[in-house]
Amino acid sequence: RSEVKCLVKVFDALVAKSSTHSAVAGLDRNMFRDALHHTFGMTNDVLMDRVFCVFDKDNNNCVSVVEWVEGLSVFLRGTLEERLKYCFDIYDLNHDGYIARDEMFQLLKNSLLKQPSEDDTNEGVKDLVDTVMKKMDYDHDGRLSFADFETAVRDENLLLEAFGPCLPDIK
Protein backbone atom coordinates (compact mmCIF):
# COMPACT_ATOMS: atom_id res chain seq x y z
CA ARG A 1 0.00 0.00 0.00
CA SER A 2 2.79 2.45 0.88
CA GLU A 3 4.58 1.71 -2.41
CA VAL A 4 1.42 2.40 -4.39
CA LYS A 5 1.00 5.69 -2.53
CA CYS A 6 4.58 6.62 -3.44
CA LEU A 7 3.98 5.78 -7.10
CA VAL A 8 0.84 7.92 -7.10
CA LYS A 9 2.80 10.81 -5.52
CA VAL A 10 5.47 10.52 -8.23
CA PHE A 11 2.74 10.44 -10.88
CA ASP A 12 1.07 13.53 -9.40
CA ALA A 13 4.41 15.35 -9.28
CA LEU A 14 5.12 14.53 -12.94
CA VAL A 15 1.66 15.66 -13.99
CA ALA A 16 2.01 18.87 -11.93
CA LYS A 17 5.25 19.71 -13.80
CA SER A 18 3.43 19.56 -17.12
CA SER A 19 2.14 22.76 -18.66
CA THR A 20 -0.25 20.98 -21.04
CA HIS A 21 -3.97 20.61 -20.54
CA SER A 22 -3.82 16.87 -21.30
CA ALA A 23 -1.94 16.44 -18.03
CA VAL A 24 -5.27 16.31 -16.23
CA ALA A 25 -5.83 12.88 -17.79
CA GLY A 26 -2.28 11.67 -17.13
CA LEU A 27 1.15 11.50 -18.71
CA ASP A 28 1.48 12.13 -22.42
CA ARG A 29 4.20 10.44 -24.49
CA ASN A 30 6.79 13.20 -23.97
CA MET A 31 6.29 13.41 -20.20
CA PHE A 32 6.45 9.63 -19.94
CA ARG A 33 9.61 9.39 -22.05
CA ASP A 34 11.19 12.13 -19.95
CA ALA A 35 10.42 10.13 -16.80
CA LEU A 36 11.91 6.95 -18.33
CA HIS A 37 15.04 8.81 -19.36
CA HIS A 38 15.66 10.72 -16.14
CA THR A 39 14.54 8.06 -13.66
CA PHE A 40 15.70 4.86 -15.37
CA GLY A 41 18.38 6.08 -17.79
CA MET A 42 16.61 4.81 -20.89
CA THR A 43 17.89 6.41 -24.08
CA ASN A 44 16.62 4.26 -26.96
CA ASP A 45 13.80 6.26 -28.59
CA VAL A 46 12.11 3.23 -30.19
CA LEU A 47 12.08 1.28 -26.92
CA MET A 48 10.85 4.27 -24.89
CA ASP A 49 7.96 4.67 -27.34
CA ARG A 50 7.19 0.96 -27.09
CA VAL A 51 7.25 1.10 -23.27
CA PHE A 52 4.77 3.98 -23.47
CA CYS A 53 2.51 1.92 -25.76
CA VAL A 54 2.60 -1.08 -23.44
CA PHE A 55 1.79 1.07 -20.40
CA ASP A 56 -1.03 2.86 -22.30
CA LYS A 57 -3.45 -0.09 -22.19
CA ASP A 58 -6.48 1.85 -23.49
CA ASN A 59 -4.51 3.41 -26.39
CA ASN A 60 -5.65 6.96 -25.64
CA ASN A 61 -2.09 8.38 -25.92
CA CYS A 62 -2.04 9.12 -22.22
CA VAL A 63 -0.86 7.00 -19.26
CA SER A 64 -3.39 7.28 -16.45
CA VAL A 65 -2.51 6.85 -12.79
CA VAL A 66 -3.88 3.28 -12.86
CA GLU A 67 -1.86 2.42 -15.99
CA TRP A 68 1.20 4.03 -14.34
CA VAL A 69 0.92 1.97 -11.14
CA GLU A 70 0.09 -1.28 -12.95
CA GLY A 71 2.84 -0.75 -15.53
CA LEU A 72 5.48 0.10 -12.95
CA SER A 73 4.44 -2.94 -10.92
CA VAL A 74 5.55 -5.18 -13.80
CA PHE A 75 8.42 -2.90 -14.83
CA LEU A 76 9.97 -2.80 -11.35
CA ARG A 77 8.81 -5.96 -9.57
CA GLY A 78 7.14 -8.22 -12.10
CA THR A 79 7.35 -11.98 -11.94
CA LEU A 80 9.25 -13.74 -14.71
CA GLU A 81 5.93 -14.51 -16.42
CA GLU A 82 4.87 -10.85 -16.27
CA ARG A 83 8.24 -9.65 -17.53
CA LEU A 84 8.20 -12.20 -20.36
CA LYS A 85 4.85 -10.88 -21.59
CA TYR A 86 5.95 -7.27 -21.10
CA CYS A 87 9.23 -7.66 -23.04
CA PHE A 88 7.54 -9.65 -25.80
CA ASP A 89 4.91 -6.90 -26.17
CA ILE A 90 7.67 -4.28 -26.35
CA TYR A 91 9.46 -6.16 -29.13
CA ASP A 92 6.29 -7.04 -31.11
CA LEU A 93 6.36 -3.72 -32.95
CA ASN A 94 3.30 -4.33 -35.13
CA HIS A 95 1.22 -6.08 -32.44
CA ASP A 96 0.64 -9.22 -34.54
CA GLY A 97 1.69 -11.68 -31.83
CA TYR A 98 5.09 -12.42 -33.38
CA ILE A 99 8.54 -10.87 -33.49
CA ALA A 100 9.45 -11.05 -37.17
CA ARG A 101 12.90 -10.72 -38.72
CA ASP A 102 12.27 -7.11 -39.78
CA GLU A 103 11.21 -6.19 -36.23
CA MET A 104 14.37 -7.83 -34.85
CA PHE A 105 16.45 -6.00 -37.43
CA GLN A 106 14.96 -2.62 -36.52
CA LEU A 107 15.32 -3.22 -32.76
CA LEU A 108 18.87 -4.57 -32.94
CA LYS A 109 20.01 -1.86 -35.36
CA ASN A 110 18.75 0.80 -32.93
CA SER A 111 20.47 -0.91 -30.00
CA LEU A 112 23.93 -1.22 -31.56
CA LEU A 113 26.58 1.43 -31.88
CA LYS A 114 26.75 2.82 -35.40
CA GLN A 115 29.72 1.76 -37.51
CA PRO A 116 31.50 4.10 -39.96
CA SER A 117 29.79 2.36 -42.88
CA GLU A 118 26.02 1.86 -42.86
CA ASP A 119 26.45 -1.26 -45.04
CA ASP A 120 28.77 -2.84 -42.42
CA THR A 121 26.19 -2.16 -39.72
CA ASN A 122 23.34 -3.62 -41.77
CA GLU A 123 25.29 -6.77 -42.60
CA GLY A 124 26.29 -7.23 -38.97
CA VAL A 125 22.68 -6.82 -37.83
CA LYS A 126 21.48 -9.32 -40.47
CA ASP A 127 24.03 -11.83 -39.18
CA LEU A 128 22.87 -11.17 -35.62
CA VAL A 129 19.22 -11.72 -36.62
CA ASP A 130 20.21 -15.04 -38.24
CA THR A 131 21.98 -16.08 -35.04
CA VAL A 132 19.00 -15.07 -32.90
CA MET A 133 16.63 -17.04 -35.13
CA LYS A 134 18.77 -20.18 -34.83
CA LYS A 135 18.81 -19.80 -31.05
CA MET A 136 15.21 -18.77 -30.37
CA ASP A 137 12.93 -19.94 -33.24
CA TYR A 138 12.02 -23.33 -31.80
CA ASP A 139 9.19 -24.09 -34.24
CA HIS A 140 11.30 -22.97 -37.24
CA ASP A 141 8.58 -20.82 -38.80
CA GLY A 142 10.85 -17.82 -39.44
CA ARG A 143 9.45 -15.66 -36.64
CA LEU A 144 9.28 -15.72 -32.86
CA SER A 145 5.98 -16.54 -31.22
CA PHE A 146 5.47 -15.89 -27.54
CA ALA A 147 6.03 -19.64 -26.94
CA ASP A 148 9.42 -19.45 -28.75
CA PHE A 149 10.40 -16.37 -26.77
CA GLU A 150 9.31 -17.89 -23.46
CA THR A 151 11.17 -21.16 -24.08
CA ALA A 152 14.36 -19.33 -25.08
CA VAL A 153 14.26 -17.01 -22.05
CA ARG A 154 13.56 -19.87 -19.64
CA ASP A 155 16.60 -21.68 -21.10
CA GLU A 156 18.74 -18.53 -20.90
CA ASN A 157 17.48 -15.62 -18.77
CA LEU A 158 19.79 -13.12 -20.47
CA LEU A 159 17.63 -13.40 -23.61
CA LEU A 160 14.77 -11.57 -21.83
CA GLU A 161 16.11 -8.28 -23.19
CA ALA A 162 17.64 -9.77 -26.34
CA PHE A 163 16.39 -6.97 -28.59
CA GLY A 164 17.23 -4.01 -26.38
CA PRO A 165 16.97 -2.82 -22.78
CA CYS A 166 13.35 -2.26 -21.80
CA LEU A 167 13.53 -3.02 -18.07
CA PRO A 168 15.35 -1.00 -15.40
CA ASP A 169 18.79 -2.09 -14.23
CA ILE A 170 18.84 -4.22 -11.08
CA LYS A 171 20.41 -1.29 -9.20
Q: pLDDT tens-digit profile of 44-62? A: 999 999 999 999 999 999 9
Q: Are residues 89 and 73 in the same domain?
A: no
Say what the pLDDT of residue 117 is.
Answer: 62
Q: Are residues 70 and 83 in the same domain?
A: no
The whole domain housing 142 covers 79-170
| Tens-place pLDDT, residues 12-55 | 988 888 755 544 578 999 999 999 999 888 999 999 999 999 99
Q: Are residues 31 and 65 in the same domain?
A: yes
Q: Are residues 71 and 97 in the same domain?
A: no
Q: Reduce the secondary structure of the chain to three states and give it as a string.
A: CHHHHHHHHHHHHHHHHCCCHHHHCCECHHHHHHHHHHHHCCCCHHHHHHHHHHHCCCCCCCECHHHHHHHHHHHHHCCHHHHHHHHHHHHCCCCCCEEEHHHHHHHHHHHCCCCCCHHHHHHHHHHHHHHHHHHHCCCCCCEEEHHHHHHHHHHCHHHHHCCCCCCCCCC
Say what the pLDDT of residue 92 is.
Answer: 97
Q: Are residues 161 and 104 in the same domain?
A: yes
Residues of the chain with pLDDT under 50: 22-23
- Model pTM score: 0.88
